[in-house]
Structure 1
Amino acid sequence: MEIGLLLLLWVSLSGAIFVFLFSSFTTRKLPPGPPAAPIIGNLLWLRRSLKIQNLESVLHHLRARYGPIVTLRIGSVPAIFITDGYLAHKALIEHGATFSDRPLPFPAVRHLSSNQHIISAAAYGPIWRLLRRNLISETLHPSRVRPFADGRRWAFDILADRLRAQSETDDGIVVPRDSFQFAMFSLLVLMCFGEKLDEKVIREIEISQRNFLLHASKLTFLPYLPAIAGYFFRKKLRTATELRRKQKEVFCPLIKSRKERKKEINPGSEMPICSYLDSLLEIQLPEDGGRLLNEDELVALCSEFLNAGTDTTSTSLQWIMAELVKNQAIQFKLWEEIKNREANSEDFEKMSYLRAVIMEGLRLHPPGHFVLPHSVTEDIKFEGYLIPKNAPINFSVTEMALDEKIWEEAAEFKPERFMEGGSAEKMDITGSREIKMMPFGAGRRICPGLGLAIFHLEYFVANLVKEFEWKNVEGEEIDLSEKLEFTVVMKNSLRARLVPRKKINSFRAGEV
């Protein structure tokens, strides 16, 4: 065993040194970056600097030295980082087709995305177009979202009941993170599978989903260490495969049940509520003889839908509510806007301050500090540098959102900047005109759930502020420091004291 390991390392080292020496003559045009060692690249330097978990802090320093586009060798693979909105727009919008691919996944983990048959991992091509078009037209279109109004109220009632019960047992103090997560997940399960499932089943789905995703996130560095990754990560790969199998055991009965329900519907008729799964069951893959999606692909796509719509949105919800607790005047101004209105989709367009609060929350606290890595479909010369095919290209969301040249008092929570007359009036969050912030990415790979995420945030924030007054816990301050889990979350979860608005109104009415 030891001899085999030494031999593997020797071969890998020899090959890497040859590639390194040879490539020094052919990759001079890569964007600049710190010197790198063979095999490990900049890994040791990164760890000595500010730890790899704080990569955006490293990039901030590198930007001052090398400019807004830099190369870091994480292992043996050059990774490109773009930290400027102008360059991001030039890449993702002006050269959108070229920059819309994904890096090739490590072969040993390709099965975890069902051979890239999910939207986020699919190569830029017909499969990606088919799956994305289906999601947008059959699930995310407003006409498809509207019938879930009863489901949104159901999910909010779950949340409000949990918060109310928690506040009544602890002097009004709540720690809402888990309740936010569960309510959002319950709503997304309903949208995915078309059924209001009981808590036990929802918890089983949630546990299987989280266990798989948290473990899969530990495999992030596999593509950067191809020479030795397969050997050293074998145990982690086996665990990930086993967790996917357990996830299938939970998801497949739900898929089978939905198929049976569809058979009971009269030919030509639609299900009472058309779920995301219903649309997936109709997809045919033209490049594969027109076959239907198989079980593995259905599980992977449903998992992707739940993940994309739950963690990011519930994380953003906690950050926004934390800012409203910290900034009581902003919370009061928001309540003044919504107190006499129904917090539903028909009224949201009239609530400009609510939208400003959501936008500022997404700018200052994006749930991901980097969008998913892009790659180019072919070698391209960009800003005078070579961007090689299959090299991961990363866009720093926080570096753009905190750019003092664009945002006045960028570190402050100021929703007014998104109001009429503000510096970001009529901000185009899609980045089609310019990119000042990109919490959902930009260009052809922009998150297709952008509209739904903003809608859900508006719905939950409006109803939470209408239902409760959110106050500081006496003697405590809101801690806005961060930590990285699956998304970038609050290092110390929000603690707040809730006062039901009905009690406030009754008390004030009594005073009068």
Structure 2
Amino acid sequence: MDVWFIILISLSLCFCIKFLLHLLSNSTKTNQSKTGKLPPGPSPLPFIGNLHLLPKTTVDLRSFLRSLSLKYGPVTTLHIGSEPVVFVTSYSAAHEALVRNSAAFSGRPSIVPLSSVLSNNRKDIGGSPYGQTWRVLRRNLNSEVLHPARLKSYSLERKRILGTLVNSFNQCFLHGDQPVRVFDHIHHAVFSFFILMAFGDVNDSTIREVERIQAELIFNYDQFTVFCSWPRLGKLLFRDRWKRYSNILKSQAEIILPLIRARKKLKQEESKQSELVSYTDTLLDMRMNDDQDQEAGKLEEADILSLCSEFINAGADTSLTTLQWIMANIVKHPHIQDKLFAEIKAVVGEGAEEIKEEDVQKMTYLKAVILETLRIHPPSAFLVPHAVSEDAELLGYRIPKDTTVNFVTSLMGRDPKEWENPMEFRPERLLNRGENGEPDGVSDVTAYKMMPFGSGRRICPGKRLALLNLEYFVSNLVWNFEWKPVDGEGVDLSDKEEFLMVMKNPLRAHVSPRIK
């Protein structure tokens, strides 16, 4: 034990010395090569920069960045060690960077802990550097999975999952009108849909296994980022944590690889091919280069696993979080629920059993309710970190090449300079008005001064799918049930970070079937 202790202390001292020398070296290089006027910010201390100022939670960090923006403006700099990190808190500054100067701001930092950890350093779209790999992977997702014609092919699966969800709420009512924890019901429904999109027809027990392991990976990611920043030292110092991480990845492979192999086998048996094209099918067909060799450039199984895992969590977790925020606001504001129900009734008429996908396209107030939720409660407080690929300018400040830039989406939608009474939930503010003053539509989310899906070249490719799912499920839940707050409990709209920005106190409500 004494020998191991001496070795561990020696390694730690070596690491600390190396780290300090690296900081000193970087500081010199920064002064020499990153000259120019950086965006303003608090003065950094030697070696640690502004680390001592950073709060522990994302909620506190959001408030801290808001106070910095009031003092220094919408673009501020904090130093992490000797490295500058830029934070953008206004829509106008974000638009200038991500849309007007999209190419320069489309990179990723050399280490994106979230992406690297969750993909086990395999291929993914969210964290890939801006380049050929990213373009090929994103093009495949957009054209083969998220194309409008392909989204239409998943309509029957969406309807089937809705039926299961409606039945689960009905069963709760039949067993006594007790408050229901909404999250428990919608979690399985949302994850089921994305798992079916990823792997095709899968039985419910397997869906629950995939759902469980994906949730386990997500909820533990914060503990595992140390293996990206300091992989060797992390494995030595946090052996139990590394063992748990390895076991999760092993379990994930044991559950998901058989699903990938089953789709591969199905594709090889032409007479048994499925009518539903899954994300896995497109990845099995895809090649990363134009080599004439049929096997050259094909993705490895581990890469397909990583991409499917990213697709499930990026789609399901954000949709689930937003759906709960929408329903919470509908419960909290009965007049909004009444207005929404009236609009649905006007579109589909009395006695309709289901709100169809084509019906929701005619519901402007429904779209406004969803966008207003995304404005105040974007699923993530920040976009995935960007990095500039070349020296760039933003609002007159110089952003040196390779600088990390964070876009604070949770402050953009709450900016009092852009929004009147920004914390008031008022969907009417998003309705377009015709010449007679009556609502005549809702613009696309990119037309508003908020960025829940990002913008520019790195905009979320699943935006169209996310909005379709939210419109479909929200309209049907309001059409089928009346939602009321729990007496004496109300609805708490405070948030906390749990991978995404979720409700601090998950929604509980009385849910009763409507008599139509």
TM-score under structure 1 normalisation?
A: 0.89
Aligned pairs for 1:369-388 within 5 A: 369-388=381-400
Q: Which residue does 1:467 correspond to in 2?
A: 480
Q: What is the identity percentage for the equivalent residue pairs of Structure 1 and Structure 2? A: 42
Name the stretch that deviates more: 324-333 or 12-21.
12-21
Equivalent position amino acid for 1:469 in 2: E
Conservation of the 8 A alpha-carbon contact between 2:93 and 2:394 = no
Equivalent of 2:206 in 190, 201, 205: 201
Cα separation, partners in 2 of 1:147 and 1:19, compared to 1, 3 Å: closer
The answer to whether structure 1 residue 395 and structure 2 residue 407 are counterparts is yes
2:446 to 426, 430, 434: 430
- Counterpart position of 1:276: 279
Structure 1 letter corresponding to 2:269: E
**Range with greater deviation from structure 2 (455-464 or 83-92):** 83-92
Contact 2:96 2:394 in 1 (8 A): no
1:78-97 to 2 correspondences below 5 Å: 78-97=84-103
2:198 is aligned, of 182, 189, 192, to 192
Matched ranges for 1:293-442 at <5 A: 293-339=299-345, 341=348, 342-421=354-433, 426-430=442-446, 436-442=449-455
Distance between the aligned counterparts of 1:287 and 1:243, measured in 2?
35
Alignment match, 1:37: 45
Q: Which among 17, 20, 25 is matched to residue 10 of structure 1?
A: 17
Question: What is aligned with 1:447?
Answer: 460
- In structure 1, the residue matched to 2:4 is none
Q: Structure 2: how far apart are the matches of 1:186 and 1:51?
A: 31
**Aligned amino acid, residue 407 of structure 2:** F
Displacement of 1:165 after TM fit? Answer: 2.3
The one-letter amino acid paired with 1:30 is: L
Asked whether the equivalents of residues 370 and 471 of structure 2 are also in contact (C-alpha less than 8 Å), the reply is yes
Three-state SS of the structure 1 residue aligned to 2:145 is helix
- The answer (yes or no) to whether the contact 2:117–2:225 under 8 Å persists in 1 is no
Q: In structure 2, do the counterparts of structure 1 residues 349 and 22 end up closer, same or farther at CA, with 3 Å as the change threshold?
A: closer
Q: Which residue of 2 aligns with 1:104?
A: 110
Task: Quote the offset at 1:108 in angstroms.
Answer: 12
Change (3 A) 1:9 1:41: same
**Does structure 1 residue 255 correspond to structure 2 residue 255?**
no
2 CA distance for matches of 1:379 and 1:180? Answer: 45
The aligned residue for residue 212 of structure 1 is: 217
1:355 CA drift (Å): 0.9
**C-alpha contact 2:161 2:189 (8 A) present in aligned 1:** yes
Per-residue CA distance 1:469-512 (angstroms, 9 max, x = gap) = 0011112211000011021110001011011002xx4xxxxxxx
Supply the distance in 1 between the matched residues of 2:232 and 2:31 (Cα, whole angstroms). 19
Deviations 1:308-353 (A, max 9, x none): 1111001111111110111101101110111361511111121111
Query: Secondary structure, in 3 states, of the residue corresponding to 1:498?
Result: strand
Identify if the C-alpha distance between structure 1 residues 2 and 104 changes in structure 2 by more than 3 Å, giving closer, same or farther.
same
Structure 1 residue matching 2:77: 3-state secondary structure: strand
Separation (CA, whole Å) in 2 of partners of 1:424 and 1:57: 36
Going from structure 1 to structure 2, the CA distance change for 1:321 and 1:338 (only over 3 Å counts) comes to same
Q: Deviations over 1:159-212 (max 9, x none)?
A: 1222222334453311111211110001111111111422x2111101111222
Deviation larger for 214-223 or 244-253: 214-223
1:259 and 1:21, CA in 2 relative to 1: closer, same or farther beyond 3 A? closer
Alpha-carbon RMSD across the aligned residues, in angstroms, is: 2.7
Aligned position for 1:509: none
Say if 2:62 is the partner of 1:46. Answer: no
* Amino acid aligned to 2:283: L
Give the C-alpha shift of residue 385 in structure 1: 2.8
For 2:376, give the aligned amino acid. Answer: L
8 Å CA contact 1:109–1:237 kept in 2: the answer is: no
Q: Are the equivalent residues in 1 in contact too, given 2:122–2:306 (CA < 8 A)?
A: no
Aligned to 2:5: none
SS in 2 for 1:369: coil
Contact 2:34/2:400 (<8 A) preserved: no
What is the alpha-carbon distance in structure 2 between the residues aligned to residue 403 and residue 66 of structure 1? 15
The answer to whether the Cα contact below 8 Å between 2:107 and 2:387 also exists between their aligned partners in 1 is: yes
Aligned AA (2:198): C
1-structure distance, mates of 2:274, 2:477: 31
What is the aligned residue count?
Answer: 495
Paired residues for 1:454-493 under 5 Å: 454-493=467-506
Mark the CA change 1:224 to 1:281 in structure 2 (over 3 Å): closer, same or farther.
closer
Query: Contact 2:369–2:427 at 8 Å: present in 1 too?
Result: yes
- Aligned 8 A contact 1:63 1:70 in 2: yes
Alpha-carbon distance between aligned partners in 1 of 2:67 and 2:233, rounded to the nearest angstrom: 30
CA spacing shift, 1:35–1:167, aligned 2, 3 Å: farther
The normalised TM-score by structure 2 is: 0.89
Of 248, 264, 273, 1:243 maps to 248
Per the alignment, do residues 185 and 96 of structure 1 end up closer, same or farther by CA in structure 2, a change over 3 Å counting?
same
**Do the aligned residues in 2 keep the contact of 1:46 with 1:52 (CA within 8 Å)?**
no
Residue type matched to 1:382 in 2?
L
Give 1:510's aligned residue: none
Quote the Cα distance in structure 2 between the aligned partners of 1:78 and 1:216.
Answer: 25
The structure-2 alpha-carbon separation of the partners of 1:300 and 1:56, relative to structure 1 and needing over 3 Å to count, comes to same
**Aligned-pair CA distance for 1:223:** 6.6
Q: 1:226 to 1:243 in 2, by over 3 A?
A: closer
Q: Give the SS at the match of 1:492.
A: coil
- From 496, 507, 510, the equivalent of 1:494 is 507
- For 2:154, what is the secondary structure of its paired residue? helix
Aligned partners of 1:236 and 1:74: how far apart in 2? 25
Distance in 2, Cα, partners of 1:320 & 1:224: 36
- Distance in 2 (CA, whole Å) between partners of 1:492 and 1:192 is 31
Secondary structure at the aligned position of 2:475 is classed as helix
| Cα-to-partner distance string for 1:380-438 (whole Å, 9 max, x where unaligned) | 2333333233332111112110112211221111111122229997434235xxx6000
CA–CA separation in structure 2 for the residues paired with 1:221 and 1:73: 19
Q: Deviations over 1:40-72 (max 9, x none)?
A: 33222223xx75552111110001111111112
> How far does the alpha carbon of each residue in 1:339-373 deviate from its partner, in whole angstroms, 9 at most, with x for none?
36151111112111111111111111111111111
Shift of 1:4: 2.7
1:123-159 Cα offsets, whole Å, 9 max, x none, are 1111111111111111111211112221111111221
